[in-house]
A and B are shown apart, each in its own frame.
Chain A
Amino acid sequence: MGLELKQISTKVGGHTHLYPLSLSPRTNELTVLLGATLAGKTSLMRVMAGLDSPSSGTVWVDGVDVTGQSVRHRNVAMVYQQFINYPSMTVYDNIASPLRLKGELSENDLDKRVRNIAERLHIDTYLSRLPAELSGGQQQRVALARALVKNAPLTLLDEPLVNLDYKLREELRDELTQLFEAGESTIIYATTEPSEALILGGYTAVLAQGKLLQYGPTREVFHRPINLAVAKAFSDPPLNVIDGQNTAEGILLAAGITLDIKLPAAQLTKDALVTVGLRANAFTLQKTPGSLKLNAEVALTEISGSDTFVHVSTPLGSMVAQVPGVHVIELGARLPIYLQPSLAYVFDQNQILMHAPHDFSTQSFEAVWG
Chain B
Amino acid sequence: MSTAAKPINHRAWWLVLPVVLCVAFSSILPLMTVVNYAVQDIISPDRRVFVGTEWFTEALRDTDLHEALWRQIKFSFWVLAIEIPLGIGLSLCMPSKGWKSSATLVIVALSLLIPWNVVGTIWQIFGRSDIGLLGASLAYLGIDYSYAGNANDAWLTVLVMDIWHWTPLVALLAFAGLQSIPDAYYQAAQIDGASRWAVFRYIELPKMRGVLVIAVLLRLMDSFMIYTEPFVLTGGGPGNSTTFLSQYLTQKAVGQFDLGPAAAFSLIYFLIILLLCFVLYNWMQSSRTTHEEPAHGA
Contact at A158–B7, with CB atoms within 8 Å? no
**Measured between C-beta atoms, what is the minimum distance from B6 to chain A in Å?**
7
Contact at A52–B4, with CB atoms within 8 Å? yes
Q: Does B298 contact A (CB under 8 A)?
A: yes
Q: Does B297 contact A (CB under 8 A)?
A: yes
- 12 sampled A-B residue pairs with Cβ under 8 A: A11-B4, A12-B2, A12-B3, A12-B4, A42-B2, A46-B2, A46-B4, A51-B6, A55-B5, A70-B7, A158-B297, A159-B297
Q: A42–B296 Cα gap in the complex (Å)?
A: 9
Contact at B7–A43, with CB atoms within 8 Å? no
Q: Does A277 contact B (CB under 8 A)?
A: no
Q: In the complex, which residue of chain A has the Cβ closest to the Cβ of B7? A: A70
Q: List the A side residues contacting B2 at CB < 8 Å.
A: 10, 12, 17, 42-43, 46, 52
Q: Which of A12, A41, A43, A52 contacts B6 (CB 8 A)?
A: A52
Q: Does A53 contact B (CB under 8 A)?
A: yes
Q: Which of A54, A69, A70, A81 contacts B4 (CB 8 A)?
A: A54
Contact at A43–B298, with CB atoms within 8 Å? yes
Q: A152–B6 Cα gap in the complex (Å)?
A: 22
Interface string of B258-298 (1 = CB under 8 A from A): 00000000000000000000000000000000000000111
Contact at A53–B4, with CB atoms within 8 Å? yes
Q: List the A side residues contacting B7 at CB < 8 Å.
A: 50, 53, 68-70
Q: In the complex, which residue of chain A has the Cβ closest to the Cβ of B294? A: A38
Q: Which of B5, B9, B297 contacts A42 (CB 8 A)?
A: B297
Q: List the A side residues contacting B298 at CB < 8 Å.
A: 17, 38-43
Query: How extensive is the interface on chain A, given as a class?
Result: 20 to 34
Q: A69–B9 Cα gap in the complex (Å)?
A: 10
Q: List the B side residues contacting A51 at CB < 8 Å.
A: 6
Q: List the B side residues contacting A69 at CB < 8 Å.
A: 7
Q: A52–B3 Cα gap in the complex (Å)?
A: 8
Contact at B297–A52, with CB atoms within 8 Å? no
Contact at B297–A41, with CB atoms within 8 Å? yes
Q: A37–B298 Cα gap in the complex (Å)?
A: 7
List 6 tightest A-B contacts by C-beta distance, closest first: A52-B4, A70-B7, A43-B2, A42-B297, A38-B298, A10-B4
Query: How many residues of chain B are within 8 Å of chain A by beta carbon?
Result: 10
Query: A41, A42, A159: which has the most chain B beta carbons within 10 Å?
Result: A42
Q: Taking beta carbons and an 8 Å cutoff, which residues of A are in contact with B?
A: 10-12, 17, 37-43, 46, 50-55, 68-70, 81, 158-159
**Measured between C-beta atoms, what is the minimum distance from A61 to chain B in Å?**
15
Q: A314–B3 Cα gap in the complex (Å)?
A: 46
Contact at B297–A55, with CB atoms within 8 Å? no
Contact at A37–B297, with CB atoms within 8 Å? yes
Query: B5, B6, B298: which has the most chain A beta carbons within 10 Å?
Result: B298
Contact at A70–B6, with CB atoms within 8 Å? yes
Q: List the B side residues contacting A70 at CB < 8 Å.
A: 6-7, 9
Interface string of B138-182 (1 = CB under 8 A from A): 000000000000000000000000000000000000000000000
Within 8 A of A (CB), among B1-58: 2-7, 9
Contact at A52–B5, with CB atoms within 8 Å? yes
**Measured between C-beta atoms, what is the minimum distance from A89 to chain B in Å?**
26
Q: List the A side residues contacting B5 at CB < 8 Å.
A: 52-53, 55
Q: List the A side residues contacting B297 at CB < 8 Å.
A: 37-38, 41-42, 81, 158-159
Q: List the B side residues contacting A40 at CB < 8 Å.
A: 298
Contact at A55–B6, with CB atoms within 8 Å? no
Q: In the complex, which residue of chain B has the Cβ closest to the Cβ of A9? A: B4
Q: A288–B7 Cα gap in the complex (Å)?
A: 60
Q: A40–B295 Cα gap in the complex (Å)?
A: 12
**Measured between C-beta atoms, what is the minimum distance from A55 to chain B in Å?**
6
**Measured between C-beta atoms, what is the minimum distance from A188 to chain B in Å?**
14
Within 8 A of A (CB), among B186-219: none
**Measured between C-beta atoms, what is the minimum distance from B286 to chain A in Å?**
16
Q: A52–B4 Cα gap in the complex (Å)?
A: 6
Contact at B6–A53, with CB atoms within 8 Å? yes
Q: A57–B239 Cα gap in the complex (Å)?
A: 73
Q: A50–B7 Cα gap in the complex (Å)?
A: 9
Q: A70–B8 Cα gap in the complex (Å)?
A: 9
Q: In the complex, which residue of chain A has the Cβ closest to the Cβ of B297? A: A42
Q: List the B side residues contacting A53 at CB < 8 Å.
A: 4-7
Q: List the A side residues contacting B296 at CB < 8 Å.
A: 37
